[in-house]
Amino acid sequence: MTGLYPFLFGIPWMEPKWLLDHFGSEFILISLVIVFIECGLLFPFLPGDTLLVSVGVFLATDQLDIGSGPNLLGLALGCLAFVTAAFLGNVAGYEIGRGIGPPVRKHDGRVIKKKHLDRTVDFFEEHGSQALVIGRFVPFVRTYVTLVAGVSEMNRMRFWLWSAVGALLWVLSIMCAGYFLGQTFPWVAENIDYLILGLLVLTVIPIGYEWWRNREEQATG
Protein backbone atom coordinates (compact mmCIF):
# COMPACT_ATOMS: atom_id res chain seq x y z
CA MET A 1 0.00 0.00 0.00
CA THR A 2 1.32 3.45 -0.93
CA GLY A 3 1.09 6.92 0.57
CA LEU A 4 -1.97 7.69 -1.52
CA TYR A 5 -4.12 5.22 0.42
CA PRO A 6 -5.36 7.60 3.18
CA PHE A 7 -6.61 10.09 0.57
CA LEU A 8 -8.84 7.54 -1.18
CA PHE A 9 -11.28 6.90 1.68
CA GLY A 10 -9.18 3.90 2.77
CA ILE A 11 -10.35 1.95 -0.29
CA PRO A 12 -7.38 0.21 -1.96
CA TRP A 13 -9.07 -0.48 -5.31
CA MET A 14 -9.44 3.27 -5.88
CA GLU A 15 -5.67 3.38 -6.35
CA PRO A 16 -4.65 2.61 -9.97
CA LYS A 17 -1.30 1.07 -9.02
CA TRP A 18 -3.04 -1.33 -6.63
CA LEU A 19 -5.45 -2.36 -9.38
CA LEU A 20 -2.60 -2.97 -11.83
CA ASP A 21 -0.58 -5.01 -9.34
CA HIS A 22 -3.53 -7.16 -8.32
CA PHE A 23 -5.36 -7.67 -11.61
CA GLY A 24 -2.63 -7.44 -14.25
CA SER A 25 -4.10 -7.95 -17.71
CA GLU A 26 -7.63 -7.41 -16.39
CA PHE A 27 -6.72 -3.91 -15.20
CA ILE A 28 -7.95 -2.27 -18.43
CA LEU A 29 -11.32 -4.02 -18.33
CA ILE A 30 -11.85 -3.04 -14.69
CA SER A 31 -10.83 0.54 -15.46
CA LEU A 32 -13.29 0.71 -18.37
CA VAL A 33 -16.10 -0.46 -16.10
CA ILE A 34 -15.17 2.16 -13.47
CA VAL A 35 -15.17 4.97 -16.05
CA PHE A 36 -18.50 3.78 -17.46
CA ILE A 37 -20.08 3.79 -13.98
CA GLU A 38 -18.64 7.17 -13.00
CA CYS A 39 -19.86 8.81 -16.20
CA GLY A 40 -23.44 7.64 -15.99
CA LEU A 41 -24.51 5.47 -13.07
CA LEU A 42 -24.45 8.14 -10.35
CA PHE A 43 -21.33 7.15 -8.39
CA PRO A 44 -19.22 10.36 -8.48
CA PHE A 45 -16.52 9.16 -6.07
CA LEU A 46 -14.92 6.74 -8.52
CA PRO A 47 -11.36 7.59 -9.71
CA GLY A 48 -11.96 8.39 -13.40
CA ASP A 49 -9.34 11.13 -13.81
CA THR A 50 -6.67 9.28 -11.86
CA LEU A 51 -7.25 6.08 -13.85
CA LEU A 52 -6.85 7.88 -17.18
CA VAL A 53 -3.61 9.62 -16.25
CA SER A 54 -2.26 6.41 -14.70
CA VAL A 55 -3.04 4.34 -17.80
CA GLY A 56 -1.04 6.85 -19.84
CA VAL A 57 1.92 6.59 -17.46
CA PHE A 58 1.73 2.77 -17.33
CA LEU A 59 1.72 2.56 -21.14
CA ALA A 60 4.67 4.93 -21.51
CA THR A 61 6.77 3.00 -18.98
CA ASP A 62 5.98 -0.50 -20.31
CA GLN A 63 4.03 -1.52 -17.22
CA LEU A 64 0.92 -2.01 -19.33
CA ASP A 65 0.48 -3.48 -22.80
CA ILE A 66 -2.60 -2.93 -24.95
CA GLY A 67 -2.76 -4.60 -28.34
CA SER A 68 0.63 -6.33 -28.13
CA GLY A 69 2.26 -3.62 -30.23
CA PRO A 70 4.19 -0.34 -29.89
CA ASN A 71 3.32 1.90 -26.96
CA LEU A 72 1.74 4.49 -29.24
CA LEU A 73 -0.57 1.84 -30.67
CA GLY A 74 -1.53 0.87 -27.13
CA LEU A 75 -2.19 4.54 -26.37
CA ALA A 76 -4.44 4.88 -29.43
CA LEU A 77 -6.37 1.71 -28.58
CA GLY A 78 -6.65 2.74 -24.94
CA CYS A 79 -7.99 6.18 -25.87
CA LEU A 80 -10.55 4.63 -28.19
CA ALA A 81 -11.70 2.17 -25.52
CA PHE A 82 -12.01 4.80 -22.79
CA VAL A 83 -13.76 7.32 -25.04
CA THR A 84 -16.30 4.61 -25.86
CA ALA A 85 -16.77 3.70 -22.18
CA ALA A 86 -17.20 7.36 -21.19
CA PHE A 87 -19.68 8.01 -24.00
CA LEU A 88 -21.75 4.91 -23.24
CA GLY A 89 -21.78 5.85 -19.56
CA ASN A 90 -23.17 9.24 -20.52
CA VAL A 91 -25.86 7.64 -22.64
CA ALA A 92 -26.87 5.39 -19.74
CA GLY A 93 -27.09 8.39 -17.38
CA TYR A 94 -29.13 10.35 -19.91
CA GLU A 95 -31.62 7.53 -20.38
CA ILE A 96 -31.93 7.09 -16.61
CA GLY A 97 -32.69 10.80 -16.23
CA ARG A 98 -35.14 10.76 -19.09
CA GLY A 99 -36.90 7.74 -17.59
CA ILE A 100 -37.08 9.13 -14.04
CA GLY A 101 -38.12 12.61 -15.09
CA PRO A 102 -38.39 15.89 -13.10
CA PRO A 103 -39.39 14.25 -9.75
CA VAL A 104 -35.73 13.29 -9.25
CA ARG A 105 -35.02 16.97 -8.49
CA LYS A 106 -36.83 16.58 -5.15
CA HIS A 107 -35.00 13.41 -4.17
CA ASP A 108 -32.16 13.47 -1.65
CA GLY A 109 -30.65 10.06 -1.01
CA ARG A 110 -27.31 8.34 -0.66
CA VAL A 111 -26.75 7.87 -4.39
CA ILE A 112 -28.48 10.97 -5.78
CA LYS A 113 -27.53 13.86 -3.50
CA LYS A 114 -29.78 16.88 -3.93
CA LYS A 115 -27.00 19.41 -3.32
CA HIS A 116 -24.85 17.91 -6.09
CA LEU A 117 -27.84 17.66 -8.41
CA ASP A 118 -28.87 21.28 -7.78
CA ARG A 119 -25.32 22.47 -8.44
CA THR A 120 -25.26 20.50 -11.69
CA VAL A 121 -28.61 21.95 -12.77
CA ASP A 122 -27.23 25.47 -12.26
CA PHE A 123 -24.08 24.52 -14.18
CA PHE A 124 -26.16 23.05 -17.01
CA GLU A 125 -28.44 26.10 -17.23
CA GLU A 126 -25.43 28.43 -17.30
CA HIS A 127 -23.43 26.60 -19.97
CA GLY A 128 -26.13 24.81 -21.98
CA SER A 129 -24.96 22.05 -24.31
CA GLN A 130 -21.32 22.94 -23.65
CA ALA A 131 -21.82 21.77 -20.06
CA LEU A 132 -21.46 18.23 -21.41
CA VAL A 133 -17.91 19.15 -22.46
CA ILE A 134 -16.87 21.49 -19.66
CA GLY A 135 -18.51 19.32 -17.02
CA ARG A 136 -16.25 16.40 -17.95
CA PHE A 137 -13.43 18.13 -16.11
CA VAL A 138 -15.43 18.96 -12.97
CA PRO A 139 -15.92 16.25 -10.29
CA PHE A 140 -19.55 15.42 -9.44
CA VAL A 141 -20.75 17.55 -12.37
CA ARG A 142 -19.26 14.91 -14.69
CA THR A 143 -21.51 12.29 -13.12
CA TYR A 144 -24.73 14.25 -12.73
CA VAL A 145 -24.79 16.41 -15.87
CA THR A 146 -25.95 13.49 -18.02
CA LEU A 147 -28.80 12.81 -15.61
CA VAL A 148 -29.82 16.48 -15.75
CA ALA A 149 -29.71 16.42 -19.55
CA GLY A 150 -32.07 13.46 -19.52
CA VAL A 151 -34.42 14.98 -16.96
CA SER A 152 -34.63 18.18 -19.03
CA GLU A 153 -35.31 16.05 -22.14
CA MET A 154 -32.44 17.53 -24.11
CA ASN A 155 -32.61 16.52 -27.76
CA ARG A 156 -31.10 13.05 -27.97
CA MET A 157 -28.99 13.62 -31.09
CA ARG A 158 -27.61 16.91 -29.70
CA PHE A 159 -26.82 15.11 -26.44
CA TRP A 160 -24.96 12.35 -28.29
CA LEU A 161 -22.92 14.90 -30.25
CA TRP A 162 -21.80 16.98 -27.25
CA SER A 163 -21.23 13.88 -25.12
CA ALA A 164 -18.97 12.41 -27.79
CA VAL A 165 -16.99 15.67 -28.00
CA GLY A 166 -16.68 15.81 -24.21
CA ALA A 167 -15.60 12.18 -23.92
CA LEU A 168 -13.00 12.65 -26.66
CA LEU A 169 -11.46 15.77 -25.13
CA TRP A 170 -11.52 14.40 -21.57
CA VAL A 171 -9.91 11.05 -22.34
CA LEU A 172 -7.36 12.30 -24.87
CA SER A 173 -6.17 15.27 -22.81
CA ILE A 174 -5.70 13.37 -19.55
CA MET A 175 -4.44 10.05 -20.90
CA CYS A 176 -2.02 11.70 -23.35
CA ALA A 177 -0.77 13.98 -20.56
CA GLY A 178 -0.02 10.87 -18.50
CA TYR A 179 1.74 9.23 -21.44
CA PHE A 180 3.83 12.35 -22.10
CA LEU A 181 4.86 12.60 -18.46
CA GLY A 182 5.75 8.90 -18.37
CA GLN A 183 7.87 9.23 -21.51
CA THR A 184 9.59 12.43 -20.44
CA PHE A 185 10.02 11.66 -16.76
CA PRO A 186 10.14 7.85 -16.32
CA TRP A 187 10.60 8.25 -12.56
CA VAL A 188 6.96 9.39 -12.42
CA ALA A 189 5.92 5.74 -12.70
CA GLU A 190 7.65 4.98 -9.40
CA ASN A 191 6.21 8.08 -7.75
CA ILE A 192 2.76 8.09 -9.30
CA ASP A 193 1.21 8.95 -5.92
CA TYR A 194 2.44 12.52 -6.27
CA LEU A 195 1.07 12.83 -9.79
CA ILE A 196 -2.34 11.58 -8.71
CA LEU A 197 -2.38 13.86 -5.67
CA GLY A 198 -1.57 16.79 -7.94
CA LEU A 199 -4.43 15.81 -10.24
CA LEU A 200 -6.80 15.50 -7.29
CA VAL A 201 -5.83 19.02 -6.18
CA LEU A 202 -6.52 20.35 -9.69
CA THR A 203 -9.94 18.70 -9.77
CA VAL A 204 -10.83 20.27 -6.42
CA ILE A 205 -10.09 23.80 -7.71
CA PRO A 206 -13.32 24.08 -9.79
CA ILE A 207 -15.34 22.93 -6.77
CA GLY A 208 -13.66 25.53 -4.57
CA TYR A 209 -14.24 28.24 -7.16
CA GLU A 210 -17.95 27.40 -7.48
CA TRP A 211 -18.31 27.40 -3.69
CA TRP A 212 -16.59 30.79 -3.42
CA ARG A 213 -18.68 32.25 -6.24
CA ASN A 214 -21.95 31.02 -4.73
CA ARG A 215 -20.94 32.41 -1.37
CA GLU A 216 -20.17 35.80 -2.94
CA GLU A 217 -23.50 35.81 -4.78
CA GLN A 218 -25.37 35.01 -1.57
CA ALA A 219 -23.50 37.75 0.29
CA THR A 220 -24.37 40.39 -2.33
CA GLY A 221 -27.83 39.01 -3.08
Tell me the per-residue pLDDT of 29-63, one tens digit each, with 9 for 90 and over. Answer: 999 999 999 888 777 666 788 889 899 999 998 89
pTM of the complete model: 0.77
pLDDT value of residue 7: 44
Q: Is the pLDDT of residue 108 over 60?
A: no
pLDDT value of residue 24: 85
Q: Is the pLDDT of residue 69 over 50?
A: yes
Residue 63 to residue 71: CA distance in whole angstroms: 10
User: How sure is the predictor about 210, in pLDDT bands with cuts at 50, 70 and 90?
Assistant: low
Contacts of 96 (CB under 8 A, 6+ apart): 40, 41, 42, 147, 150
Q: Is residue 26 packed enough to be buried (19+ CB in 10 Å), middle (13-18) or exposed (0-12)?
A: exposed
- Please answer whether residues 89 and 38 qualify as being in contact, where contact means their C-beta atoms are separated by less than 8 angstroms: yes
Q: Is the pLDDT of residue 177 over 60?
A: yes
Q: Give the pLDDT mean for 133-162.
A: 82
Q: Give the pLDDT mean for 6-23.
A: 69
Residue 135 to residue 88: CA distance in whole angstroms: 16
Q: Please count the CA atoms within 13 angstroms of the CA of 45 that sit on its side-chain side.
A: 11
